[in-house]
Structures are given as structure tokens and as C-alpha cells.
Amino acid sequence: MGLLRHFDLSRFEKADCLMETGTENGFGIEHAMKYDNLKELHSVEINEKFYNFCKQKFNFVDRVNLWLGSSETKLVEMLSAISERKSCLYWLDAHLPSDPGSRFEHGREADQIEFPLEKELRLIKDNRDTKFDYFIIDDLRIYEDGPFQHTGKSWIHHHLYPNFFPHKDGIKFIEDMFSATHNILRDYNHEGYLILEPKQ
């Protein structure tokens, strides 16, 4: 599992808002709240239990906006809420904390729900000018090999389950969407992150 607090977000000081997919216990939001440049923080969570927990936790924090639902169904509305913001930092972290063997325990059957990243990026690209936006994407090891710090407990490596993981071409779908406008950097700490920084 990746941690937003692994990152010193002052590196993204030009960003004026945060958009997170997968709120869970709100640890990502708590870290982002340390940075005053992030004037609004938005986070979407599919699991009502986590959503309700964080609603209470952040009840008195005006700049925190929580959304209940799947990222796929909520992102367009969330993006319209930040349409005036020049630069957004996305923390794309929505995935089930499950391995292929236990996937049905969560009542989730469709791969596209378990791996929402491609849909999320497409929605963001289609609904916003992203040239000044930053992205931190968790769990690079879902998509490709590398010298990851944690080879993984919760996600079994994709070679063992070749038909379970989508994106046989690794991160090509991300390069196709962003390589013209962003530098794409790999961070092999934890289970791997991909960082997209604007070229200009």
C-alpha cells in the first residue's frame, strides 16, 4: 500500500488543490492538509463505511470535500468543482486492498472496478486541461516489473496471474495520454509510484 506521506508535497507547490481517489481512513487527506497551497481537497470513496468515518473526522475542516461513490461515476462532478483551479495534484490510490485470491470477498466482480486507473485518467484528460497538473499514481507494480522495495503482500505479482491484471503493455496507456505534456517518473519505494510532472 502506498502512502502519500512518503512525499514532501512542497515539491508540488504550484498545485492549488488536491484530488484523491480512494479516501479510506483519510490518511492521505491528513498529510495534504499540512500544505497551505492546497486550498481545496477532494476525495472520493466507494465504501460507505470509510466515507462516513471520514465525514465525521473532517467535519470541521472547510477545505475538505468528500464524495461517496466510485471514481468513475463521481470524477466529472468533482472536476467541475475545481474548474477555476490552475493546477491540481492528483493522488490516484483507488484500488481494493485485496489479492486475486480474495477478490470476491469484497463483492467486486469486474476488473474495471478493481483497476479504475485508466478510466480515471481518461475522465481527467477529457474534462480538464491537465498541462499544469501533477499526478502521483500508486502501485506501479500492478503494471510493470522493477526493483520495488516491497514486492507485495496484498497484491500478488502480476506474473503469477497473467490473466487477472489488465494492461499487458504496462504503462503504455499512461504514456499515450501524457508523454506529450508531462515527464513520467518512477519511484520504486514501497510498491512503486508513478509521478507525472508538467513539462512546462
Ligand X SMILES: C[S@@+](CC[C@H](N)C(=O)[O-])C[C@H]1O[C@@H](n2cnc3c(N)ncnc32)[C@H](O)[C@@H]1O
Residues near ligand X (CB under 6 A) are 1, 4, 20-22, 24, 27-28, 44-47, 50, 70-71, 93-97, 113, 116
The residue (of 4 and 140) whose beta carbon lies closer to ligand X is 4
**2, burial (CB in 10 Å: exposed 0-12, middle 13-18, buried 19+):** buried
DSSP string for 79-111: HHHTTT-S-EEEEE----S--GGGGGGGT---H
- Alpha carbons 182 and 196: distance in angstroms, whole number: 6
Q: Which is nearest to 7 in space by CA: 25, 21, 28, 26?
A: 28
Beta carbon of residue 3, minimum distance to ligand X (angstroms, whole number): 6
The residue (of 1 and 177) whose beta carbon lies closer to ligand X is 1
Unique residue bearing C-alpha cell 502521483: 136
Beta carbon of residue 25, minimum distance to ligand X (angstroms, whole number): 6
The residue (of 127 and 179) whose beta carbon lies closer to ligand X is 127
Beta carbon of residue 137, minimum distance to ligand X (angstroms, whole number): 12
Phi, psi values for residue 175, rounded to 5°? -60, -40
Beta carbon of residue 22, minimum distance to ligand X (angstroms, whole number): 3
The residue (of 63 and 179) whose beta carbon lies closer to ligand X is 63
- Alpha carbons 194 and 73: distance in angstroms, whole number: 24
